[in-house]
Structure 1
């Protein structure tokens, strides 16, 4: 075989061979440690630690989106406001103009004040700090990277943030104790669980208003949407139940009795399996959505937040009682490793 034919054959084989997915990064908020840990998604190898991020519970991003959005659960003095460090190379005047305080009239005056920090997803530098009305529990970023939302359990609503202008856009009341938020694939709507009255809210983010509330159990908390946006899967924490909600009809179509206090929830890559962290019973539970069959594995102590790692067959689960995150195989449901962290592992984000 000539060299040219050999080279052509090798090239064709390379094109025909399945591509090997590059490892991604998982960002783990460390809560009381005031930092976010970055780890390699396949091995859990520590890559970096981002400091100076106070009491981050909510952290969100999206594949290809420019920013990560971190929400603080600590409230600040309303009069003092927030100061953002000036990036190198930027003049003081430009910095002051870019980080001007929002119009106070846009923020509800009868609520506390907290900070949402916007980080460049590539460099991880802080590019903006935005004042929002009250402590932030969880955050979400739209798939198109245009919007972010933050839930305010004490304020009965969510903040909407414009990621194109890096400004606070407004407040939308959803219901008592809003907990978790997930955007629809089209990025025009966000769904929010309200633990205080057992509802799932749908919000039009472009126009900033509530479009409907769907009744879901007694105390819905963590939430994950199917990739096509047709269904929502919700953990009813204190009820020990998980729910499937058909979003077109606005009805609960399946209820899964699990028992104990639940927390994190996630879907497998092909969405045939639902994973749920059983915090009070030291269990990781999986549900085959085609058959309803449940499997469980011991994960002790107190499995807490959970995120599936795309295209890896793995998931990561934090512990509420100990400073660590487990790397778990989705098929065997066994922990293949542990990541030592600081503080508590809250809303984790896996990005390619």
Structure 2
């Protein structure tokens, strides 16, 4: 006899799958060492196209309704010249040169290595601008209002802020040792940066370009997400296998969840009630019920890495650090329901309607 629980789960899954067909989104995945972004249709799970010519892309970000994607390279370039883009037809040489001008003198740290941030049209994938930034880029973030982007520089102990209205480098802001991940506040006025080298999170005033405050957070905070209401941060204390729940208002650690092993990616469900976490070293995927604190765990091997929930579909995309693939996971029972092949390794992912 089929249990009521199984019937209930089946009914929920049916609703989710129906919703997925009605609200298919597009996922852009940074395919690191393959020097490309792959574009996936979430309805079919198939690769629609590949955006090539992007060296060692680790960081990739965007936001619903925002025109741009921001891709960051983890490699550094020789000299101080960003790779040139072809001059569009109908644009004068002076206009083209101004459009691709380097940052103003003194805007970047002296003697900094140079890496490239690439600005792409989120619909067409066309490369619109390449911007020099001070050092290898690990992750990027785009503000909800589309006004700014941020890029973390682990070797430079700070972040770059990019003005997305003018598509120019705005500022370098020192944050702390080995900045790893960044997430914007709900109102886009601040960006929170995890400093994995000194156990802090820096809140940066984006417009003025300075650190408003530093929060003490565990040992080695890395990936971070923010609740929809902007009141709570969830941070992976990666090396010691814990997730910390932090109040944005005063920086207090409200709860810590013991996951175990080395952690990596995390993301929230559509309604914010569940936090999903990839346990890279212990080959597992964990779902935390944020009301009760209860956890569900499923085996996922090898080395689950970056993780992104796909709004409106009941799915999670999880990359493997050791194999060139993305798992498609059912949020209800954490079962693998499909796979997407990549050529390198899946790093930061962006979901756009």
Q: TM-score normalised to the size of structure 1?
A: 0.93
How much does 1:96 deviate?
1.9
How much does 1:91 deviate?
3.9
Is residue 20–residue 313 contact of structure 2 (8 Å, CA) maintained in 1? Answer: no
Is residue 41–residue 350 contact of structure 1 (8 Å, CA) maintained in 2? Answer: no
Counterparts of 1:301 and 1:183, CA distance in 2: 31
Note the residue ranges of structure 2 that are not aligned, 5 or more in a row. Answer: 1-18
| Equivalence for 2:301 | 300
| Equivalence for 1:108 | 109
Q: Can you list the C-alpha shifts for 1:178-203, whole angstroms capped at 9, x where unaligned?
A: 00000011011010100001011101
Aligned positions, number:
335
Bigger Rg over Cα: 1
SS class of match (2:32): coil
Is residue 272–residue 288 contact of structure 1 (8 Å, CA) maintained in 2? Answer: yes
Q: Does 1:151 align with 2:152?
A: yes
How much does 1:107 deviate?
1.1
Q: 5 Å matches for 1:65-76? A: 65-76=66-77
| Equivalence for 1:318 | 319
Note the residue ranges of structure 1 that are not aligned, 5 or more in a row. Answer: 1-17
SS class of match (1:311): coil
Q: Does 1:262 align with 2:260?
A: no
Q: 5 Å matches for 1:82-231? A: 82-231=83-232
Counterparts of 1:262 and 1:20, CA distance in 2: 32
How much does 1:88 deviate?
4.5
Is residue 323–residue 345 contact of structure 2 (8 Å, CA) maintained in 1? Answer: yes
Is residue 318–residue 345 contact of structure 1 (8 Å, CA) maintained in 2? Answer: yes
Counterparts of 1:75 and 1:170, CA distance in 2: 19
Counterparts of 1:114 and 1:20, CA distance in 2: 39
Counterparts of 2:212 and 2:284, CA distance in 1: 36
Counterparts of 1:243 and 1:336, CA distance in 2: 29
How much does 1:303 deviate?
0.3
How much does 1:299 deviate?
0.9
| Equivalence for 1:342 | 343
Counterparts of 1:325 and 1:251, CA distance in 2: 35
Q: 5 Å matches for 1:45-56? A: 45-56=46-57
